[in-house]
Amino acid sequence: MISRRTLLRGAGIGALVVAVPVPALAAEGFVPNVFVRMDAAGRITATVPRPDTGQGVRTVVALMVAEELAVDPGDVALEQAHGDTERFGAQGVANSTSVRQLSTPIRTAAATARCLLVTAAAERWRVPVAECTARDGAVHHPRRGRAPYRSLVRAAAALDPATVPVELTPQDRWRLLGKTRGGRVDARAITTGRTRYGIDSRPPGGLVAVVARPPWIGAVPDTIDDAATRALPGVVDVLPLIAPAEGQGGVAVIARSTHQALRGRDALRVTWRGGTPTADSRAWLADLRAALPAQSPVDGLQRVFEMPLLAHAPMEPMNATAHVRPDGVTIWAPTQDPGSLRTQLARQLGLPASSVRVETTASGGAFGRRIEPDPVLEAVACSRRAGAPVQVLWTRADDMRNDSYRPMSVHRLSAEIGPDGLPIRRAHEVVTWPLTVLPIFSNPALIKASGDHFPYSVPGDVTVAVRPAPLRTGFWRSVYAGQFVYAEENFLSEIGRRSGLDQVALRRSLLPAGSRLHQVLDKVAERARWSRPPAPGTARGVACLEEYGSAIAVIAVAEPSSRRVLRVHAAVDVGVALHPSGVRAQVEGCVVDALSTVLGAQITVREGQVAQSSFGDYRWARIGQTPDVDVTIVPSTAPLGGLGELAYPPAAAAIAAAISGDTPVTGMPFGADVG
């Protein structure tokens, strides 16, 4: 029986509309999300409540709806939800939850629509419901024949949903979900250049703004001479921005075209005050090191790991478009969280939420950066001043130098080694910074909860000390797990190497028999032919992680002399892989992040400024450095798990262990000065 909270509307207009609340918000009362709708002509539209930042949620929504309604994915039109948490529930792409939290409500909504259509057909034909089946956009009966959905919509919408039992299509009867064929629903638009990202939003009469940003961290404009700028063609206005986000300020140049805005910015003469013009990330690292307690609680082998600043650097630089009118505001943004953005804007602008419209565009990557609203706040300020729609565009250097970076951290790992070479007691002492974009992330317990997923049966403590962050820090794929797991797995690898133990056998012996990690570790060892010795000149690294409701083991094979990674194998247990190609894609993406950050990408600060400005010096991996990635999806009876961030921490650890050969890993990037 469907929940009382399921909403049906549209009987009066001959359309079928089914909505089911998102569980995360169900406790707060009824949440009428419009998820699935069928019009009088039988056309199906599904709402995608969360943004697609490349993780593929639009594809999974289309597959779920098509599966339950027994149609092709191409028969499901997708509508990207605007920001509205009352209608759509939580809309943030965070903590690898998109598919996990949407799967039940969306499948239930579509299954409800199917069951109502089947019931309507059975009533019309005066046959038992059990004799009717839905297939290919119609209800079928062995003797009565076939009734297309469109002929049933009106009758189905008139039924009382509380009287119709709803069953989800069981997994063993899936035609689409869990199958290897079938790619991204937006693939044609992407490969023909028709996908509209935030940067492609240009409402009629729209202007463009670029912002002169601080030449060192925390500086604000002191004097502004904009005479030369205002004399340039196309320049409409110049506007000081007072710290739209913490630690940020600047001078916006609003112009008719992007090039005119960029030229206008070049012509500005601004002096700056405040901030930290001498800041240096090497000194920050020394401060973190100095904050380690004098003595570790465990005597034995000890190693200190240093982790760098990292930037998000999505391919689509930060941007947002706003149109502020007397009666409200419309935003077009590649945001990771349109619902919270709308709530925050309404509060900040003193408007009712109904006067704030946030249109979610496609997003050219996000990786945690687009949870934050700073480009949107800049666009609002510019549009209010200009009285027209304004797109604020960050250049690549703006993006790289004004990010919310992954925090630096220092990790001291200690282990007492038993007579058999295995660790018998351990300590992991962490000193790091909070995430300044979310104040609760200054709580050491929360940082520990984010980072600490040590799965091996070695007793010991993890302690976290938090130092004030000297620049803006934020959520970066896997959050603190990226640093913690890298240190822990590399330390375990060093213990194994010193004790002459097999790295897979060592981990197996420390994992509970029959556990999910045990299974994925066995599978990846088989895929990587672990039992055979590595080829001459090559070395291997292994690492595991259970988090987000999923489990993964990774083996990397590399040539230490050239630091070339030859192959990466991963075995994942995600419970149910709804879109296997998408599952593999997320693992492949995490592996490239891992490769990039282990081989050389890091952010450094010199003389108060981030030294890197583009992909020339923030050394993200290129195609020639990237090996093939072999991903095995392990059959599982576990509930649906999350995946977007799972593979990054163990892939980074396994790659570092492989390229390091016999050299102990002491930080990231491998073999580089950190900071």
Partner 1 sequence: MARYLLRVNGERHEVDVEGDTPLLWVLRDELGLTGVKYGCGVGLCGACTSHVDGQAARPCVRTAADGAKTPITTIEGLSRDGNHPVQRAWRELDVAQCGYCQPGQVMAAAALLARDPDPDDAAIEEALRDNVCRCGTYPRIRAAVRRASRIMREER
Least separation, in Å, of the C-beta of 130 and partner 1?
A: 38
Binding segment (CB under 8 A) for partner 1, from list 19-27, 50-58, 157-165, 284-292: 50-58
**DSSP secondary structure, 425-486, as one string:** EEEEEEEE---TTSGGGG-HHHHHHHH----SS--EEEEEEE---SS-B---TTTTHHHHHH
Which CB sits closer to partner 1, 313 or 544?
Answer: 313
Residue pair 281/604 in contact by the 8 Å Cβ criterion: yes
**Of 394 and 454, which CB lies nearer to partner 1 in the complex structure?**
394
Interaction between residue 396 and partner 1 (CB under 8 A): yes
Instruction: Kindly state whether residue 315 participates in binding partner 1, applying the rule CB under 8 A.
Output: yes
Position 608, amino acid = G
Question: Residue 332 forms beta bridges with which residues?
Answer: 321, 359
Q: How far is the CB of 81 from partner 1 (least distance, A)?
A: 18
Other Cβ atoms within 10 Å of 671 Cβ, number: 16
x-marked contacts with partner 1 along 427-456 as a string, rule CB under 8 A: ------------------------------
Residue 257: how many other CB atoms lie within 10 Å: 12
Q: Check binding of 231 to partner 1 (CB under 8 A).
A: no
C-alpha to C-alpha distance for 357 and 339, rounded to whole angstroms: 10
Tokens of 29: 């009362």
Structure tokens at 146: 């076939």
Structure tokens at 197: 């990202």
The residue within the footprint of partner 1, chosen from 6, 363, 493, 612 (CB under 8 A), is: 363
Written as six digits, the tokens of 608 are 């108060």
Beta-sheet pairing, 605-606 with 460-466: unpaired
Instruction: Determine the distance from the C-alpha atom of residue 499 to the mean position of all C-alpha atoms in its chain, rounded to a whole number.
Output: 38
Q: For residue 126, give every residue at least 6 positions away whose Cβ sits within 8 Å of its Cβ, in sequence order, or none.
A: none
Q: 642 with 549: CB under 8 angstroms?
A: yes
Residue 590 sits in the site that holds partner 1 (CB under 8 A): yes
Which residue lies nearer to partner 1 by CB, 260 or 340?
260
Reading phi first (left if > 0) and then psi (alpha if -120 to 50, else beta), residue 513 is in beta
> Across the chain, which distance is largest between two alpha carbons, in Å?
84
Position among 226, 306, 316, 489 found at the interface with partner 1 (CB under 8 A): 316
54 part of the interface to partner 1, by CB under 8 A: yes
Rounded (10°) CA dihedral 286, 291, 296, 301: -20
Among 93, 345, 591, 654, interactor with partner 1 by CB under 8 A:
591
Residues 294-313 interacting with partner 1 (rule: CB under 8 A): 313
Q: Is position 194 an interface residue for partner 1 (rule: CB under 8 A)?
A: yes
- The minimum distance between CB 556 and partner 1, in angstroms, equals 14
**Residue 190 binds partner 1 (CB under 8 A):** yes
Q: What sign results for the dihedral spanned by CA atoms 627, 532, 546, 656?
A: negative
Tell me how far, at minimum, the Cβ of 229 lies from partner 1, in Å.
Answer: 15
Cis peptide before 326 (omega within 30 of 0): no
Q: Is 218 in the site for partner 1 (CB under 8 A)?
A: no
* Token duo for residue 661: 């050969």
Q: Residues binding partner 1: what is the number (CB under 8 A)?
A: 64
Residue 80 contacts partner 1 per CB under 8 A = no
Looking at the Cβ atoms of 309 and 651, the one nearer to partner 1 is 651
> Where does residue 89 fall: left (phi above 0), alpha (psi -120 to 50 degrees), or beta otherwise?
left
Residue type, 610: V
Residue 367 contacts partner 1 per CB under 8 A: yes
Judged by CB under 8 A, does residue 203 bind partner 1?
Answer: no
Q: Which stretch binds partner 1 (CB under 8 A): 46-54, 347-355, 453-461, 518-526?
A: 46-54
27 in contact with partner 1 (CB under 8 A):
no
| 177 touches partner 1 by CB under 8 A | no
Tokens of 488: 């822990």
Give the integer Cα–Cα distance in Å for 489 and 535. 23
From 258, 276, 463, 632, residue interacting with partner 1 (rule: CB under 8 A)? 258
Listed in sequence order, the DSSP H helices in 147-292 are 153-158, 187-191, 227-230, 258-266, 281-290
Name the helix (H) or strand (E) containing 172. none
Q: What is the x/- site pattern for partner 1, positions 547-586, by CB under 8 A?
A: ----------------------------------xx--x-
Under rule CB under 8 A, residue 29 binds partner 1: no
Q: What is the CA angle 215-216-220, rounded to 5? A: 80
| Residue 195 is a binding residue for partner 1 (CB under 8 A) | yes
Stretch that binds partner 1, among 182-190, 321-329, 418-426, 604-612 (CB under 8 A): 182-190
Q: Which is nearer to partner 1, 165 or 616 (CB)?
A: 616
Please report, as residue ranges, which positions from 612 to 671 form the binding site for partner 1 (by CB under 8 A): 614-616, 620-624, 626-629
Q: Which is nearer to partner 1, 502 or 630 (CB)?
A: 630
What element of type H or E holds 79?
Answer: strand 76-80
Choose, by CB under 8 A, the member of 116, 362, 376, 598 that binds partner 1: 362
Q: Does 506 bind partner 1 (CB under 8 A)?
A: no
The reply on whether position 204 binds partner 1 by CB under 8 A is no
Minimum CB separation of residue 582 from partner 1 in Å reads: 8
Which residues would be at the binding site for partner 1 (CB under 8 A)? 52-56, 183-184, 186-197, 199-200, 202, 208, 233, 257-260, 263, 313-317, 362-367, 393, 395-396, 581-582, 585, 588-593, 614-616, 620-624, 626-629
